[in-house]
Amino acid sequence: MESATRSAPEPAPRPGDPAPPARTGLSEAEALRRRTRFGLNEFPRTGSGLAGTVAAAFANPLVAILIAAAITAGVLGDILGALIIAVIVLLGIVLNATLGFRSQRAAERLRAEVTPMATVCRDGRWQERPRRELVPGDLIRLAAGDRIPADARLLDARDFHVQQAALTGESLPVEKEPQPDDTGSDPEAERKVFLGSSVVAGTAVALVEATGAATAFGGIAARLDERPPLTEFERGLKDFAGLIMRTVVLLVLLVLLAGVVLHRPPLQTLLFALALAVGLTPEFMPVITTVTLARGAVRMARRRVIVRHLAAIEDFGSMTVLLSDKTGTLTRGDTAVDGCWDAQGAPSARTSQLAMLNAMFETGTHSPIDAAILREGPLPVGWSKLDEVPLDFERRRMSVVVERAGERWLVAKGAPESILPACTQYALADGILPLDALRRADCERTYQAMGERGLRVLAVAWRPVEARTRFTAKDEAGLVLAGFVSFVDPLMPGVAGALQALASDGIPLKVLTGDNPRVARYTCEKVGLDPGSVVTGDQLRGLSETALGLLASRTRVFAQVTPEQKRRIVMALKARGDVVGFLGDGINDAPSLHAADVGISVPNAADIARDSADILLRERNLEVLHAGVIEGRRAFANVMKYLFMGTSSNFGNMFSMVVGALVLPFLPMLPAQILLNNFLYDLAQTTIPSDNVDAAQLRGPQRWSVPLIRRFMVGIGPVSSLYDLLTFYVLIHWLQATADTFHTGWFIESLATQTLVVFVIRTHGNPLRSRPSAPLVASVVAVLAAGLILPWTPLADLFGFVPLPPEFFAFLATAALSYLLLVQWLKRRFMQPPRHPGGAWRG
C-alpha cells in the first residue's frame, strides 16, 4: 500500500464524511441575520428572574391567607394589627424571594458552564458551535450519540437510526433516509429528524428547518409546563410539608372551635388562628432547602463538579455503590498503540495499514482508539470510501468498504471475540491459510496473552467485495483475519488512593467494562482493587432479576457486558435497596445513566450521555468525584438540620399554643407577636446553609428518611411543649403575670429555646466539640439579643410587650440550659438512623 505524510488535524470532516462538497453551508454574516430574525435556538424561560421568584412567594397559600387577614383586620378597624401583619409578611416575602433568587442565579451560572455543541458547516468549513447559535438553513452533521439540535431535513444518511420516543412514544429506534421531494412516502416520517431525539447509529448531514420554539418539541413545550418527575428527596420534602400542614390545619380548627365555645372575641380568635398557622408552619423550608442545595452546588463547582439538577445533590451524597467503566476511571483513557501483529503475534505492516484504512473512513463514532491508530501513520493514500457498516454495540464491530484502482475491500475491526467467528481464513507474511479449529485456538491464545498483560486488543479483518452501492452487517462474513492491534492505557494517577477513600466513606466501586476479563482483572489488580470472580456478559444471560441482584451485590468486576446488561445491573442493585451512581461518557452508557439514581458524566461525553446525567465532572477521575460526594453530603446534612429544627420547635409549639388557648383566660400570644416570633426564628435559620458539618456525618451515605424525622418530631417536640407549660406555670403562679407580661415572657422563652437548640441539633455528637460556623452563631445571637431588648424599645407598645422582672431572666437561663441538656441527652436515641438493608447507615 502507498503512504502519505499526515497533515495537522483540522476541524473539517474526516475522509468519508457524507456531506457533498458542493454544500458550503451559510456564511457567518447570513447566520447572524437569520439569528436576528428567528432568535436563538432555545426555549424562552418562564418564571425566572426576581419578578418570577417574588410572584412564586406571593403564590404561597399561607401568604394569601395572611394578606386576606390583614385586609379583614383593616376593614374591621384594627389598623395597627393589619399593618403589623402586612409588614412582617412583606419582610418574609422579601427575604424568601431574595434568597431564592440568589440560589436560582447560582444554579443558572453552573448550568451555563456546560454548553451543548453541534457540528455545523459555516463558510464552507465544518466546526463545533453552541447549539443555541443554530439557525434555519444551517447544514449540520450528525453521528451516533448526538442529540438532534433542531428540526431538520436529511440530505445524506448512512444506516441512520434515531430514538424519538420523547416525541412519538416509539420504544424502538427508527431508521431515517433522505427521500426525493416527489416521493410518495410520508416525508415527515422518512426524511425529517426532530429536536429532542437522539442518534443511535449511523451518520447523516441535514438541513435545519426550524429552531427553538418553532420546532415540534417547542410546540409541546409551549403547551406543557415541563416538569421532571419528583426525586426521592423532593417527594420526601413534599410529604413532610404535607404532614405538618395537615396537623396545623387540624389544630387551627380546634383553636377556632375553642374560641367559639369560650366566647372569645371572633376577630382576635381568627387572627390568632391565622397567625398560628403561619407561625407553626415551616414556610421557609423550600427556600432554606434551595439555598442550602445551591450553596452545596457552588461548593461542588469549586471542586470541579457541576450539578445539573439541584435535587441530585441528595442522591449524590446518598450513593451506596458506584458503577463505572474501566477506561477513563481506573485508566487515563490516553489510548496509544502498543503494536500491530499478525494472527501468530508477529509484527505486521498489513494489520497496521488495514487498521488505518478503517479508522480513516469511520464516521459513526469519534473514538480515541481511531485517533491512536491514525497517529501511527503514514496514512494510506489513493483510497476512496464506498460505504460503511456503523458500529453496533451488540455486534461489537464496524466495517468500511473502500476502493482504489478498481480494487474493492471490506475492512472490519472490532472485539476479537466478534471478528474471529466471522473469519474463515487468516493471513501470515508468507500467505493466506484456512482458519480451522486448531489454528483458531492458536489465534485466541495470541490475543488472550496480550490481555493477560493488561493490553486492550482489536482484531482486524478484510475481504474483497463486488461493486455495490449498499452493504450491511450480513456482508461481514468469510473474512480474512489480518491480525490484532494492541493498545496500552496508563493507569490514572492517584486512583488507588481515591478507591480507598471512596470505600472508607461507604461507596465501593464496581467495574462494568466491555473489555475481556483478562484485561479487566489485570487493571483492577494494578490499582489495588481485588477483582474477585470476574463475571462476563455471557454468564448474565437468562438470569432472573432476583438472581442478577444477588450476583451483582457480590461481584466487583463485570467484563464483556452489553449496554442492556449494564442497565439491568443498575436496576437489580436499585431493587435491592442500593442508591446507585453510574459514571459513563459513551453512547452505550446512556441507558444506565438514565436508570441510575444519580447519573454522572463529563462535559466532553457523547451528547446523549451528557444529557442523561445529573452530575458532570470537569475531570474524569475518582478524586474529583469523591470530593463532590463529600460536598453533597455536607449540603444534605445542613438541610436535615433545618428539618430537625422545624420539628423540634414547631411541633412542640403547636401543643403549647392549643393548650394555652384552652386553659388561659386570654390568648397565650397575640397574632402579631406570633408572626414576629416566627419571623425572627426564620431569620436566625437562614445561615444554616453556611454551617460546618461534623466529619462523622460525612463518612457514610446519607438519605432522606421520613421515619427518622417523624421519630425525632415525636420524641423531641413534646420536650419543647413541656418547657412551654413550665413557663406558663412560672409566669402565672410565681410572677403573677398580667396578660401583657405573660405574652412578653413566653415570647422571649419560646424564641430563646427554639433558636439556641440549633447548637445542639446541628451535631450528632457533643456540641462543645463541634464548632458552628461564624454566620450561624452571629445570626442566632443577633436574633436572641433583639428578642431580649424588644420590651425596652419604642416597638414594645406596637407589639404589646412590657418590661419583665429580673426573676424571670433567672428562670429563663435555668430553663434554657436544662432544656438544651435534656435535648442533648434525648437526641442520640431519636436521631439514630435505621440500618440500610445493604449494611450502610443512612441518616
Instruction: Report the catalytic residues.
Output: 325
580 contacts 509 by C-beta, under 8 angstroms: no
720 contacts 726 by C-beta, under 8 angstroms: no
Beta strands in 748-838 (DSSP E): none
Largest CA distance in the chain: 113
46 contacts 52 by C-beta, under 8 angstroms: yes
Helical ranges in 113-231 per DSSP H:
165-168, 187-190, 216-223
611 by DSSP, 3-state: which? helix
State the helix-helix crossing angle for 774-789 and 739-756, rounded to 10 degrees. Answer: 170
Which among 92, 64, 55 has a CA at the least distance from the CA of 675?
92
CA distance 706 to 716: 15
597 contacts 319 by C-beta, under 8 angstroms: yes
Which helix (H) or strand (E) segment holds residue 485: the answer is strand 479-488
Instruction: Say which amino acid occupies 537.
Output: G
CA distance 840 to 583: 21
CA distance 840 to 297: 25
Cα 168 from chain centroid (whole Å): 26
> In Å, how far are 53, 155, 396, 451, 696 from 99, measured between CA atoms?
10, 50, 51, 56, 29
CA distance 653 to 645: 12
CA distance 759 to 685: 11
CA distance 466 to 204: 25
> In Å, how far are 46, 114, 681 from 130, measured between CA atoms?
22, 10, 46
CA distance 31 to 273: 62
CA distance 341 to 622: 34
455 by DSSP, 3-state: which? coil
